[in-house]
Amino acid sequence: MRPHLTALLLLAWTALAWLPSMDIATAQAARNPFIGAREPQEAPRKGPAFGYPAFLQPLMQRSAMLQQTIKQKMAGLAEEIRREPLGPAFRWFMLLALLYGVIHALGPGHGKVYACAYFLSRPGTFKNGLLFSYLTMLFHVLSGSALVLGGSLLLKTSGAMALESAGPILARISYGLLMLLGLVFAVQAVARLRAGPAQRAVACPETADLKSLMFTALAVGLVPCPGAALVLLFSLTLGILPAGIGAVICIAAGMGITVSLFALLTIGLKHRFLVLAQGNPRWFEAAYAALSLSGAAGISILGLLLFFSSST
Partner 1 sequence: MPIQKIMFIAALLFVCATAVAAHPHAFVECSFAFVMDERGLAGFRQRWILDEMTTVTVLDVVDKDRNRILNAEEKAALREMTENSLREFHYFTAARINDVDYPIEAIADFSAVLENNKLTYDFMVPCRVAAVPGKPQEVKAAVYDDSFYTYVAYGPEKGSGIDPSKDPLFANPEAPARPGDFKRFSQAVGLGKFSGEIKVTGAVKRFEILTEMQEAPEMAYFFGQIVPQTFVLRFAPR
Contact 260, 111 (CB under 8 A): no
Which of residues 97 and 264 has its CB atom nearest to partner 1 in the complex?
Answer: 97
* Interacting residue with partner 1 among 89, 102, 113, 230 (CB under 8 A): 230
Does 28 engage in binding with partner 1 (CB under 8 A)? yes
CA 276 to mean position of chain CA atoms: 30
Contact 250, 184 (CB under 8 A): no
Sites for partner 1 among residues 238-297 (CB under 8 A): 238
The CA distance from 254 to 233, in Å, is 19
Q: What's the closest the beta carbon of residue 156 comes to partner 1, in angstroms?
A: 9
Does 49 engage in binding with partner 1 (CB under 8 A)? yes
Does 57 engage in binding with partner 1 (CB under 8 A)? yes
The CA distance from 244 to 234, in Å, is 8
Long-range pairs for 90-98: beta carbons < 8 A, 24 or more residues apart: 90/243, 90/246, 93/243, 93/246, 93/247, 94/246, 94/247, 94/250, 95/250, 96/70, 97/231, 97/246, 97/247, 97/248, 97/250, 97/251, 97/254, 98/250, 98/251, 98/253, 98/254
Contact 268, 127 (CB under 8 A): no
* Interacting residue with partner 1 among 4, 31, 91, 127 (CB under 8 A): 31
Sites for partner 1 among residues 148-187 (CB under 8 A): 158, 160-161, 163-164, 167-168
Report residue 310: phi and psi, to 5°: -90, 155
Span from 11-19, 40-48, 205-213, 243-251 in contact with partner 1 (CB under 8 A): 40-48
User: Residue 23 CB: number of other CB atoms within 10 A?
Assistant: 18
Which of residues 160 and 304 has its CB atom nearest to partner 1 in the complex?
Answer: 160
Does 312 engage in binding with partner 1 (CB under 8 A)? no
Site string for partner 1, 68-97 (x = CB under 8 A): x--xx-xxx-xx------------------
* Interacting residue with partner 1 among 40, 41, 211, 282 (CB under 8 A): 40
Task: List residues near partner 1 by CB under 8 A.
Answer: 23, 27-38, 40, 47-52, 56-57, 60-61, 63-65, 67-68, 71-72, 74-76, 78-79, 104, 107, 158, 160-161, 163-164, 167-168, 226-227, 229-230, 233-234, 237-238
